[in-house]
Chains A and B, each alone.
Chain A
Amino acid sequence: MDKEKAITVKNLVKKFGNFIANDNLTFDVYKGEIFGFLGANGAGKTTTLKILCGLSKPTSGQINVAGFNVYTETNKIKNNIGYMSQKFSLYEDLTVYENIRFYGGIYGLKLKDIRKRADELIQKLGLTNVRNELLSSIPLGWKQKLAFSVAIFHHPKIVFLDEPTGGVDPVTRREFWDMIYDAASEGITIIVTTHYMDEAEYCNRVCIMVDGRIEAIDTPAQLIKTYNAANMNDVFIQLARKAKQQ
């Protein structure tokens, strides 16, 4: 099948001194795909994510993100991606609307467009009543949904989500995934990391990293079959255990 590739990674290596954080990674991510990154703390997920976002230079390898080279075209990459993490996303001391306007401004959208799209967005998220409230006063679940919407506000080709649902209640967590599906169906490619293994199963494909290497990469269903496991949690524990014994 000839699907359009959003990201191609060939022989990616990243070293910090003697420590190899990413050991010869090769994978592709297709357009409109929801691609999950799993791995224990320190397995190298964050390093890979940073390289793909253009925040960190790889030691070697050919990497292409949204059609741009990560060595030379990091600025173009940054214009074409969105990023959201659990820790940093929005400004607590700005209002809902001000946050949206600020991020729209960063990506160079026109004020008129920002206003129009911000109004649509606020209505869609059901935040009309708290439009001018400080972000610090609205519940965590709403913030996370808003943070995601802001990350795709400038219609990026790819959006990176770093543990986006940590600590969020189960209902909001699922509403959040609905939004991810919506975005994917519009053709946005989603790269997501998570510690919730049931969420791994919502992904089209997942890549499990162990000690800087890709240990497995496939659809969740296929992985469960291959490793003869009950669910993704079992798959993950099998792979991570194996690494520890070595």
Chain B
Amino acid sequence: MNFVEINNISKSYGSHKALLETSFSVKKGELFGVIGPDGAGKTTLFRILTTLLLADSGSARISEYDIFKDYKKIRQIVGYMPGRFSLYQDLTVEENLAFFATIFGTTIKENYELIKDIYVQIEPFKDRQAGKLSGGMKQKLALSCALIHKPEILILDEPTTGVDAVSRKEFWDLLRKFKNMGITIIVSTPYMDEASLCDRVSLMQEGKIMQINTPDNIINNYKPILFEIHSNNMHDLLIKLRKYHNNSNVFLFGQTVHYSSINEINKDDLKMYLKNNGHANVEINVCTPTIEDCFLWLMNQNN
């Protein structure tokens, strides 16, 4: 049975439609990613799930509880980490943790086993005020606070935004661990590369879900032909490639340009074209798409 079930949830703020008939389900013990840029509707969706907002229409449940009728029950079983850092900056690490334990009617001691793995990392700073922690540490503390009452499900809104690459990796390692302990996790992120760390992801854009699948299947579903092109003058390469064919997309990807098209493109023709336009030393290779390629393609299809 699905642990979380969302049916046709919609939400508008005035004339702005934040969520459009969103539906998906999450299995028990799954690590589910909601991936999309700002304004995709991730935060709205999470606030509805955590009973902080009422949906305009549609229904949802977590475990056997309805998010509208049984909101008190849901607040007991959900561990929620909002998008902004939302702990008390003037309280120490330990005081924050103790406070969140008490408001859920438990103690640090009672659930220490659960948070042990994170807590040993932040323990050296336990007398430091939360406002003075580094970004990565803050997020770990916030995660501990969300976990302290032994929730059945974690709902984490962009926990890795603004955090450096190393701390991000450590954070995902922790999420993996909690998933293995049987906790269901729904996590959102604007970083496309983090999709591969989830069991399943939903790609969102402007209030709509473009696709839900495992990261591998999303990549397998990618239809266009995709080249990876490198040249000495990347800026000019972009300009020239954009003029080459109508039904194509040209995007920078690290040190290369990803050139995709639904039409058949002959690699040698393309090479010749670029050579004639002042790019003698170009390398063109067929490449496997990343989640970001898929996202870009889906966005293009939706427009």
Chain A interface residues toward B at CB < 8 A = 39-43, 139-141, 163, 166-172, 174, 177-178, 181-182, 184-185, 195-198, 201-202, 220-221, 231-233, 236-237, 240-241, 244
Q: How many whole Å from A147's CB to the nearest CB in chain B?
A: 14
Measured CA separation A169–B254 after assembly (Å)? 16
Measured CA separation A203–B284 after assembly (Å)? 21
Chain B interface residues toward A at CB < 8 A = 36-40, 134-136, 161-167, 169, 190-193, 205, 234-235, 238, 251-255, 292, 295-296, 299
Q: Which residue of the partner chain B has the closest CB to A41?
A: B135
Can you name 19 extra interface pairs (CB under 8 A) apart from A163-B162, A167-B190, A174-B251? A41-B162, A41-B164, A42-B134, A140-B37, A140-B38, A169-B36, A169-B205, A170-B37, A170-B299, A177-B252, A181-B238, A184-B235, A195-B164, A195-B165, A198-B253, A220-B254, A231-B254, A233-B165, A236-B165
Q: When the two chains form their complex, are residues A195 and B163 in contact, meaning their CB atoms are under 8 A apart?
A: yes
Q: How many whole Å from B260's CB to the nearest CB in chain A?
A: 13
Interface of chain B, main secondary structure: mixed
**Pick the contact of B162 from A140, A166, A185, A233 — CB < 8 Å?**
A166
Q: When the two chains form their complex, are residues B167 and A41 in contact, meaning their CB atoms are under 8 A apart?
A: yes
Specify which chain A residues have a CB less than 8 angstroms from the CB of B253 in the assembled complex: 198
Q: How many whole Å from B210's CB to the nearest CB in chain A?
A: 12
Specify which chain A residues have a CB less than 8 angstroms from the CB of B296 in the assembled complex: 170-171
Q: When the two chains form their complex, are residues A237 and B161 in contact, meaning their CB atoms are under 8 A apart?
A: no
With contact pairs A140-B39, A174-B252 given, residues A195 and B205 touching in the complex (Cβ less than 8 Å): no
Specify which chain B residues have a CB less than 8 angstroms from the CB of A174 in the assembled complex: 251-252
Q: When the two chains form their complex, are residues A42 and B255 in contact, meaning their CB atoms are under 8 A apart?
A: no
Q: Which residue of the partner chain B has the closest CB to A239?
A: B166
Q: When the two chains form their complex, are residues B299 and A40 in contact, meaning their CB atoms are under 8 A apart?
A: no
**Pick the contact of A220 from B169, B251, B255, B299 — CB < 8 Å?**
B255
With contact pairs A170-B292, A174-B252, A201-B254 given, residues A41 and B38 touching in the complex (Cβ less than 8 Å): no
Can you list 12 A-B contacts with CB-CB less than 8 angstroms, sorted by A residue number?
A: A40-B165, A40-B166, A140-B37, A168-B38, A169-B37, A170-B299, A171-B251, A172-B37, A174-B251, A198-B253, A221-B255, A237-B169
Q: How many whole Å from B170's CB to the nearest CB in chain A?
A: 10
Specify which chain B residues have a CB less than 8 angstroms from the CB of A241 in the assembled complex: 166
